């Protein structure tokens, strides 16, 4: 079975600085998707960034980028120029392809605080 | 992105009563539906998976007679918490998936409080 591990329950960063959230996963599959989701106090899940396992190039979305190391099964999220609005819970998630069930498995979450 | 509507957003009910939560995919057909439960400061835990027109598959430890899932159409799924108890108080999130989907979309969640 797939597992996702986030080893940092809490992180804090000063506004405008850079922070990296860690995520490792375990799977025997070769084709899958990885995601980082943000969950603010409203608890609405917001997609931050996604990565297809077959793509070697790391995904980037504005201030958010990932370091995807497929062999090491590592998928870290870097937030540059942190903003107060980035304060939230962040979840790393693994998803099988739809034809294999499409199930989303989440890590334990990292609570990020951006301090002024 | 796809639009998912989940209602109610919050509900308070008395112990022993039943509560129904609806999840609608407004602009796509959800062939598969996942229901998650999230306790405060914890992760999302998968409760069950349902495919349209089929019985739901429940994760280990989830009582199928307590959490009734109906997925009778491609745009609507419901989760009914039967004979609710205070320990069922939690945040419930639906995640409908369309055929061939490469990412998931989420309902807004339902905060259930059983008193």
Q: Count of domains in chain A? A: 1
pLDDT for residue A1 is more than 80: no
- Distance CA(B76)–CA(B74), nearest Å, equals 6
Contact B104 A44 (CB under 8 A): no
User: Which chain A residues are closer than 8 Å to B101 by Cβ?
Assistant: 98, 102
Alpha helix (H) ranges present in A9-105? none
pLDDT tier, A31 (very low <50, low <70, confident <90, very high otherwise): very high
Mean model confidence pLDDT for chain B: 94
User: Which chain B residues are closer than 8 Å to A97 by Cβ?
Assistant: 102
Tens digit of each residue's pLDDT (9 = 90 or more) over B36-60: 999 998 999 999 999 888 889 999 9
| A29 alpha carbon, distance to own chain's centre | 19
Name which of B59, B106, B111 to mutate to probe chain A: the one with the most chain A Cβ atoms within 10 A of its Cβ. Answer: B106
User: Which chain B residues are closer than 8 Å to A95 by Cβ?
Assistant: 103-104
For residue A99, the model assigns a pLDDT of 87
For residue A107, the model assigns a pLDDT of 97
pLDDT for residue A2 is more than 90: no
pLDDT for residue A13 is more than 80: yes
Average pLDDT over residues A20-32: 95
Average pLDDT over residues A32-40: 97
Contact A81, A23 (CB under 8 A): no
The token pair that represents A44 in the structure block: 């609405």
- Distance CA(A114)–CA(A18), nearest Å, equals 10
Contact A101 B41 (CB under 8 A): no
For residue B24, the model assigns a pLDDT of 96
* Sign of the Cα pseudo-torsion (B41, B84, B76, B50, in order): positive
pLDDT tier, B8 (very low <50, low <70, confident <90, very high otherwise): very high
Range of the domain at A54: 3-115
Mean model confidence pLDDT for chain A: 96
- CATH number of the domain where residue A59 is located: 2.60.40.10
Average pLDDT over residues A21-27: 97
State the residue for tokens 């990296």. A20
Tens digit of each residue's pLDDT (9 = 90 or more) over A44-84: 999 999 999 999 899 999 999 999 999 999 999 999 999 99
Tens digit of each residue's pLDDT (9 = 90 or more) over B24-40: 999 999 999 999 999 99
Selecting from B42, B95, B99 the residue whose C-beta is nearest the C-beta of A98 gives B99
- Distance CA(A90)–CA(A20), nearest Å, equals 11
Contact A11, A112 (CB under 8 A): yes
Q: Is A42 left (phi over 0), alpha (psi -120 to 50) or beta?
A: alpha
Q: Which helix (H) or strand (E) holds A103?
A: none
Contact B21, B91 (CB under 8 A): no
Beta bridge partners of A89: A39, A111
User: Which chain B residues are closer than 8 Å to A53 by Cβ?
Assistant: none
Contact A64, A78 (CB under 8 A): yes
Contact B103 A47 (CB under 8 A): yes
Average pLDDT over residues B88-103: 94
For residue B19, the model assigns a pLDDT of 98
Contact A12, A111 (CB under 8 A): no
pLDDT for residue B1 is more than 80: no
């Amino acid at each position: 079975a797939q597992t996702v591990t986030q080893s940092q329950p809490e992180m804090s960063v000063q506004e405008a600085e850079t922070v990296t959230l860690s995520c490792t996963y375990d799977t025997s599959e070769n084709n899958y998707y990885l995601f980082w989701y943000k969950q603010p106090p409203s608890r609405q899940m917001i997609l931050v960034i996604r990565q297809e396992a077959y793509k070697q190039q790391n995904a980037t979305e504005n201030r958010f980028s990932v370091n995807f190391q497929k062999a090491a099964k590592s998928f870290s999220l870097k937030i540059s120029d942190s903003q107060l609005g980035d304060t939230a819970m962040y979840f790393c998630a693994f998803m099988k392809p739809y034809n294999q069930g499409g199930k989303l498995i989440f890590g334990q979450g990292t609570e990020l605080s951006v301090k002024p | 992105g796809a639009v998912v509507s989940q209602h109610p957003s919050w509900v308070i009910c008395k112990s022993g009563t039943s509560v129904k939560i609806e999840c609608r995919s407004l602009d796509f057909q959800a062939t598969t539906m996942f229901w998650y439960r999230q306790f405060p400061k914890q992760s999302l835990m998968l409760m069950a998976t349902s495919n349209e027109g089929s019985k739901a598959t429940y994760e280990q430890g989830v009582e199928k007679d307590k959490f009734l899932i109906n997925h009778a159409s491609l745009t609507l799924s419901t989760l009914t918490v039967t004979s609710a108890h205070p320990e069922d108080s939690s945040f419930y999130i639906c995640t409908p998936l369309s055929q061939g989907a490469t990412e998931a979309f989420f309902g807004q969640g339902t905060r259930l409080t059983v008193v």
